[in-house]
Amino acid sequence: MISSLVLPLLLQSATPYGSPIDPLMRPSEPRTEAPAGQLPLAPKSPADIRFNQCIDQAAEDPDNGLLAANGWQIEGGGYLARNCLGFAYAELEQWPKAVSAFVLAAEGAKTAGDDRAAIFWSQAGNAAFVAGDNAAALKYLGSALEQDQLDALLKGEVHLDMARIYVAMNQYDAAKQQFVLVHDLVPEDPLGWLLSATLARRMGDLALAKADIAVAAGLAVTDPAIALEAGNIAYEAGDVVNAESNWEQAVKFGPDSPSAKTAVRYLEQLRASATE
């Protein structure tokens, strides 16, 4: 007989839905060469150089980064200084202040015609989500998409973020629609397939869950979170043998990971029930 304790644990599974979205997408990543068919990037302006330095400092030492960003803002650093300020606040987990700074930075960038406005809006949305303001998070992420300045990869990330917010709001159908867009934009992103599989399991669509987790597993063969979810789906489908096998794989792939620790709990419950 299968232990009745396993299923309640499954419903609380430590999938990525339970962890906050990383709001710290770096707003400026240097590229050593231009993509094929494009001209090399123009040399960085002094403001861009200082911006990158400010972001680096905020990432390495948030307290001093906060001081540097404030000082730059007083000197007239404008929306770039405000974004760096938001980045430092986010590193310090002062989320409401981070949201405010990111929003002001995004508005300033939009007014200036700076293509980074879209990324700044996405940062505001992610910070708002972590701060617990789901409605604002969706609004700001929507603003990021409205700028029409993101490539397919970044658009996919924004739609993935929106899906996770809808899941947190228990709006599963809306989340499912976002995952359709994620898979269209970034079909090789295993996280998107993992999270859509988890959602399908929660919605009781085990056929879709199995299909999506199979794609995720093909893209990231040794990911413990994917193995954990594959076991969860198998268990809910009544396939205890494959559930146990996948949970064992989760432990093997990442012994110290949160997914492995969850898998160990499931295995203990499963094996205890087998001896009853």
Question: How far apart are alpha carbons 258 and 251 in whole angstroms?
Answer: 10
pLDDT in tens, 78-97: 999 999 999 999 999 999 99
pLDDT in tens, 97-151: 999 999 999 999 999 999 999 999 999 999 999 999 999 999 999 999 998 889 9
Quick one: tokens of 37? 């068919």
pLDDT at 9 over 50: no
Quick one: tokens of 182? 């994620």
Q: Report domain extents, the chain.
A: 188-276
pLDDT at 272 over 70: yes
CATH code of the domain made up of 188-276: 1.25.40.10
Question: How far apart are alpha carbons 258 and 9 in whole angstroms?
Answer: 14
Instruction: Place 273 in a pLDDT band, splitting at 50, 70 and 90.
Output: confident
pLDDT in tens, 28-73: 433 333 333 433 445 579 999 999 999 999 999 999 999 999 999 9
**Per-residue confidence (pLDDT) for residue 132, from 0 to 100:** 95
pLDDT in tens, 176-199: 999 999 999 999 999 999 999 999
For residue 4, which amino acid is it?
S
Q: Give the residue from 63, 186, 57, 44 showing the smallest Cα distance to 116.
A: 44
For residue 56, which amino acid is it?
D
For residue 211, which amino acid is it?
A
Q: How far is CA 65 from CA 29, 62, 75, in A?
A: 18, 5, 15
